Structures are given as C-alpha cells and as structure tokens.
Amino acid sequence: MTRNWFAAAAALTLLAPVAAGAGQIEDIRARGSFKCGVPADSPGLATLSDRGETVGLEADYCRAVAAAILGPNPKVEFVKVTFAQAIPGVKAGEVDMAGFAITWTIGRNTELGLDFVGPNMFSGLGFMVHKRAGATKLADLNGASICVVAGSLQESWISDYFRARNMTFKPVAIESTTQIYPLYEEGRCDVVTSEPPFLAMRRARLKQPDDHVILPELYAKSHMGPIIRRDDVAFATAAKWAHYALVTAEELGITRDNVENFKGHKDPAVKRFMGEEGDIGPKMGLAKDFGANIVRTVGNYGEVWDRSFGMKSPGKLPRGPNALERDGGLQWAPSWR
C-alpha cells in the first residue's frame, strides 16, 4: 500500500508539465554534447576499455541522460575529476552531471543543493584487509589504519561505528580512489573501505588478489547515483526519468537488440514507453520516444549492470538488491503514464 502510494505521488510530481527547452537542457542542446564528470579509473563505474572507450555503470548513465536530451548515440564529453572536484564541478556548472556513485544523504540533498539520479546502486559499506593481518570480522580492526578518500563520508561513518563499540582507528586521507589502492597494496594502511562490489572489482586488479580479504559485515547502508544540480526542474526531471526508463525497459523486456521490434506493440504501456501514444516526452521538453532512445544507446538497466558488475564484467557479481523488485530486489520504476 505504501509503495503504491509513493509510486503514484512520484509519477504525479515528475510528470507535471515543465518548461521545454529551458536552462540546462537548452544549454546542452546548444552545445551539442553532454558533459559528465567521472573518475579517471574506477572499474565498474568509469574506466577506459581496451578500445579507449569510457565504460561502466556511471559512464552508461551519462550516455542515458544525454540520449534523453540529445537523441540516440549522443556526444558525451567525459571529464576526468576527483571525488573532491565532483560536487563543486556540478554546482559551478562545469559538468552537467557527475557519475561517481555518490551516496545519497540528507545533507548532500539539502545543504549542498544537489539532487540524485536513481539510486542506480543499492549496497552498503564494508572493508578489505590484508590477509596477513588475520582479521575475519569488524571487531578485529580495532586500532587499524584505514585509507579513506578525503572529503568523503566514510571517515565519519567509520568513526561513528567504531566509537559506538569503544574501538579506535587511524584515518589515512587520500585524494582519490586511484591513489588509495596502490598505497593500500604498498602497506601504507591496513584497510580500505568501499561498497563490496567496488572492493571486489579493485581486488581483482591487485598484484596478489588472494592476499586480500573482504570482510562479510557492513558498517553502513549506501544507496548511490549520479549527482545533478537541484535548481533546474526540467533537467532534474529528465535525468531522473532516464533512470526510470532503464528500469522500465527491463521490466517490459525491451533491450538494445530488440527495441525496434516493439514498435507498433499492442500493449498500451509499451506504446507509451516507445512514444507512440500520449505526450509524456514533449511535456518534459523531450522527444516522444526519449525512453526508446535511451535503450537504443545503452540498453536497459539489466544490460548496464551486466556489463559493469555482472556476468559480462570481470567482477561477475550477482544483482542482489539491484535486481528488479519482481525478482526480489529494490529496483523498480513508477508507472509510465
């Protein structure tokens, strides 16, 4: 009952008519490209492939939002920034969106004037430790040195968790995730922290992956997504519904390979998604088939996950909480009407 009410409220709010071609949407179209801030090398999120393409979950979300505004296979400018540069870059308008899988918190949403797309990943925060340390549970980390990204929330969350249990730790502040893992591997700190999917992807790239253990316990929940400015309703609406388009496409069975086969489909829900019925897109300042354009560009949410973290990625991680709601996960979308 609660979920159904929330879905209806979200749909009414986000589908309310907004001024077409205003603010960021107009700027992006005039520029002819979408600027997206991403980490320099974060496996699963954004990293260079062997062909020199920026690939990963957040990279595909950049393409998805760009496709909603510019059409299929849009030009995306990937701007390499550190975590510390991501939020100021979005607020200053240097990038249209930052894809860092940044954790959604009330402070970031209100005090910093940011909005979030998604969540495109549900997870929690955990630890990876050198096997030689002999740690098998969080309680074994009392007094450990822990590498954390400067300006991130991990240090405060770790501090809260440890203090509540009369434990101590030594924070080792690092500027970016690309520096953390080499320093951890060198022994500059005993422990690194992140969401388990990211830890698994990073462990696979260490010189001796079997020498490192990801502890099974989590110390904080974390649901994440790309960040955007909150002051442009039209752009925020387009970005949020880009995420819902990815999820809706998977719910409907629409993929990058079969999307054209759904033209002229009898199902009204499919017709609305494909832009063949109603005027959802134009009311948002977008094309009637903006949802189909997203799928033409990156596929559906399941396809994006599979390439980034799933069975077609080095991590080969299960969907877990990121499966569709009907499959026992948390990913679902409001009605497309």
* Span 172-181, pLDDT tens digits: 998 877 789 9
* Span 302-334, pLDDT tens digits: 999 999 999 999 888 889 999 999 999 999 999
Strand partners, 225: 102
281 and 298 Cβ atoms separated by less than 8 Å: no
* Distance from C-alpha of 71 to C-alpha of 293, rounded to nearest angstrom: 6
Mean pLDDT, residues 66-82 taken together? 97
Describe the chain by its helix, strand, coil percentages, rounded to 5.
45, 20, 35
CATH number for 2-121+223-327: choose from 3.40.50.300, 3.40.190.10, 3.40.1400.10, 2.40.110.10.
3.40.190.10
292 and 259 Cβ atoms separated by less than 8 Å: yes
Task: Count Cβ atoms below 10 Å from residue 123 Cβ, excluding itself.
Answer: 22
Q: Is the pLDDT of residue 7 over 50?
A: no
Burial class (CB in 10 A: 0-12, 13-18, 19+), 256: middle
Tokens linked to 164: 């509540």
The sign of the CA dihedral 317, 318, 324, 329 is negative
The residue ranges of every structural domain in the chain are 2-121+223-327, 124-221
- AA letter at 66: A
Tokens linked to 62: 């950049």
CATH number of 124-221: 3.40.190.10
Could you check whether 2-121+223-327 and 124-221 share the same CATH topology?
yes
